[in-house]
Amino acid sequence: VGIKEYKSLLLGYASIVRRGGDVLHYLYSQTESMFEDLSIRIKAMGERLSMLMEANIIVSILGALGLIMIFIVSLSLPSVGMSFTPEQFNLFSFLVLPMLSLLFMYLGDIVQIGGGGSTWRAYLYPIAAAPIAIFTASQTVLPHLIGLRPILPQLTALIERLNTLLGLGEGSEAALGLALSLLVISIPGIIGDWLYAERDRRIFEGVTAFIRDIVETRKTGLSPERCIIALSEKDYGEFTPHLRSIALKLRWGMSLRSIFEEFRDRVRNWLSQVVIYFLIDAIEIGGGTEETLETLADFVERTGHLEQERRGLLAPLTFIPYIGAILLTSTTVIFLRFFANLTSLGGLGIPQVTLRKVLLTPLVLHSFILGLTTGKLGCSNRVSAGFKHSAILVIISLLGIWAASNILSLNFMG
């Protein structure tokens, strides 16, 4: 269990059971203080994550804009002796700034209050798609960005035709290729997160409703085992197939302990594991009395309310990266149009295709990483939850590139 309060509760519970102490009194007293402490920690966590998110946006946006300004000045005023080559710009854009974002995600992982139930299966989908995305990038990004000879020229030509069809403008081919490559990873990531991580959360919601129902059913005089079998006919969402499997094994006469072991192997949500563990112990040791089950139901409901409080507190942080990505995209395309007009007026001799190629390509990557940061530092506390934000932000960056080529080009300077 990843939260120390729950770990302490379980260890104390096991000790009380071994000594034959008053389990009900222990659960009442311990959970009351535990939830008070967790509520205080959640509020403090929200403040820390807000600061981390704001710091990440500041570093990402100001860092990217600062690099853009330095690069443009070095191109437009080579006589002053300032040299900032496209290779150096790409090094900072594709390596340094993403590494800083990864650092913020790591710090967010330390600050977050989360559990130990692994959702690593959600990452199998984007990992499987990664070779395809890497190959796509090698054929659609590198040939246009650094002049690498493509292995599959047809794919490179396809991006050029698609770029012309979308009206993104010459020099946007690498950005479009990178956007498509990142979407190749993002879409499987969205599917994996929905299938596993979000499903685990919905399983806990079903467990919460089931525990409350088992308390009410127990009051009719049925044994705990008969209550479980009777309730297996109801619909508890994602928890329903697991409940029916438990009921079937009870009919076969399997022990509750072996049933829990199988449930733990199938369900990786740690809160659901803790609740079913308590339920089985309440039946095996405490006889599944109404008082014991009522205490368990209160514990589960308060845990659910605490999780809702955490998600509600962190939900506003989700919008911050969107604002940052829109700001970065709009500022970059305005820079491009501004210097394009200066060039057309004869003020500066800046190669526009080079500018678009060098500036717009990392813009797509920054938008993608901001989406991953949203998933990790936001209410989900999962990088996999950021894939859907990444896909949206990548599309927003493409819309910004299209605007730079079509809308802002119309009489930008009046």
Task: Note the pLDDT tens digit of each residue in 290-328.
Answer: 777 887 788 788 878 877 877 787 788 888 888 888 888
Mean pLDDT of the chain: 82
Reply yes or no on whether the pLDDT at 179 is more than 90.
Answer: yes
Question: Cα–Cα distance between 75 and 350 in angstroms, integer?
Answer: 6
pLDDT tops 60 at residue 411: no
| pLDDT for the residue numbered 159 | 92
pLDDT for res 70: 82
Longest dimension (CA), the chain: 91
Helix-helix angle 290-314:198-218, to 10 degrees: 150
At 44-95, the pLDDT tens digits run 877 888 888 888 888 888 888 888 888 877 777 666 556 777 788 888 889 9
Residue 214 corresponds to which tokens in the numbers above?
């088992």
Please tell me the predicted confidence (pLDDT) of residue 23: 64
For the cut 90, the answer to whether the pLDDT of residue 132 exceeds it is: yes
Residue with tokens 């854009």: 93
Reported confidence tier of residue 116, pLDDT bands at 50, 70, 90: very low
Distance (Å, rounded) from C-alpha 370 to C-alpha 321? 6
Regarding predicted confidence, which is higher, 374 or 120? 374
Instruction: Say if CB 365 and CB 91 are below 8 A apart.
Output: no
> Residue 240: what pLDDT?
92
**Alpha-carbon gap, residue 205 to 303, rounded angstroms:** 11
Q: Would you place residue 345 in the very low, low, confident or very high pLDDT band (cuts 50, 70, 90)? A: low
Cα–Cα distance for residue pair 338/332, rounded to 1 Å: 10
pLDDT-based confidence at residue 1 (cuts at 50, 70, 90): very low
Across 127-141, 172-186, 242-256, 275-289, least confident range: 275-289
